[in-house]
Amino acid sequence: MTAFLTTGVGSMPRRSWLFSNRAGLDGKHDHYGTGGTWMLPEELLSEAQDDATIIAINLQEKAGLDIITDGEQRRKNYVTYLTSNMNGFDYRELKPKEMAGGRRTLLAGRCVGPITHQNALIVKDLEFTLSKTKKPVKITLPGPMTVVDSTVDEFYGNEREMAFAWARAINQEAKLLDTLKPEVIQFDEPRFSRLPDKVEEWGIEALNICVKGIQCKTAVHVCYGYPQPGLSRPINNSYETIITLLENSNVDQLALEFAGANLDPSYLKNCPSKTVIYGCVFNSAEVMENPQEVATQLLKASEYIDPLKLQAAPDCGLVMMNDADAFKKLNILVEAAKLARQQI
């Protein structure tokens, strides 16, 4: 086993020739609705997404990451890529939804009927990624609390009931992915950091449904959201509570933000049984860390978690960056992990 393995979290920079993002942060913004525009006609789109995925894989491999992702190059949005293809959701008429504990109000799709899984959603995506790399692969799925917070409920009338319905449905997709033997299936739950009371009330139970019967390693990713100009990113003290709750969950790994939030690694004393994917570089180009300083942070974290169970990662995905800056970040990460191994 290797100490301080390095891993991506999920997204990678997008191709400008493939995708045009929707700009704006007011109530008319529909990032969780249509989310953006593909730049190519339908008949060319699949092949272009393949090409973009290969670029994202190569960027991670060139940087030297140990565990990689597909860069989410086929996804307009990390939530809607799954919800819009799951039975029970409608994206033809969007409605306003206050999200992320009141952080913003956006236009979102609607849950209009029972959430059920009928067909494979991203199995082909994982098959393609596995065919293009010999490295271990992580695949990501949106978690129940984040789905509930990112859509307008016009059917269940109860957050817990809707969350459990999504958990059961996405668990079926996870089981299909599991047959392909990825290294990790990760459930993205950034809303955990904003809504700690709900994490305790029903979030952990819903997460456990997501991972039920999965044989490969499972992870949950909890962060404070992408840094965006003009949008506040309040960092609260929820992590200590959340990490303690997650210690009693059935997931194997916790992907946690420590760099951008400037959190004390001593919080990790509350999850001794878990592998921690330690966010030690901020997912913003405004700051380029020194590898030795990052290595020092990893070594401090290793005082609370066995370094064989401590993985180095960005705080979150790198979709907000360009290729050059993302590559710098990953190089910093890999170099820091090497330095930490030498100094442990």
142-201 tens-digit pLDDT: 999 999 999 999 999 999 999 999 999 999 999 999 999 999 999 999 999 989 999 999
Q: Does any domain span residue 195? A: yes
- Residue 336 sits in a domain whose CATH number is 3.20.20.210
Q: Exposed, middle or buried by CB within 10 Å (0-12, 13-18, 19+), for 79?
A: buried
pTM confidence score: 0.95
* pLDDT above 70: residue 108: yes
Residue 286: how many CB atoms within 10 A of its CB?
A: 8
Q: Does any domain span residue 5? A: no
The pLDDT value given to residue 292: 98
Q: What is the DSSP letter of 288?
A: -
Q: Does any domain span residue 37? A: yes
User: Closest by alpha carbon to 246, among 236, 235, 254?
Assistant: 254
- 226 pLDDT tier (thresholds 50, 70, 90): confident
Q: Does any domain span residue 339? A: yes
* pLDDT above 90: residue 106: no
The pLDDT value given to residue 218: 98
Q: Does any domain span residue 131? A: yes
User: Closest by alpha carbon to 241, among 203, 275, 185?
Assistant: 203
Average pLDDT over residues 33-49: 89
Q: How far apart are the first and last CA of the chain?
A: 15
Q: Does any domain span residue 4? A: no
User: Closest by alpha carbon to 45, among 73, 65, 25, 24?
Assistant: 73
275 has which bridge partners? 253
Q: Does any domain span residue 6? A: no
User: Closest by alpha carbon to 184, among 302, 1, 53, 8?
Assistant: 8
Provide the residue range defining the domain that includes 321: 19-343
Q: Does any domain span residue 192? A: yes
Q: Are 328 and 303 in contact (CB under 8 A)?
A: no
The pLDDT value given to residue 24: 43
Q: How many domains does the chain have?
A: 1
Average pLDDT over residues 122-137: 98
The pLDDT value given to residue 44: 97
Q: How far apart are CA 178 and CA 279, in angstroms?
A: 25
The pLDDT > 70 percentage for the chain reads 93
242-298 tens-digit pLDDT: 999 999 999 999 999 999 989 999 999 999 999 999 999 998 888 899 999 999 999
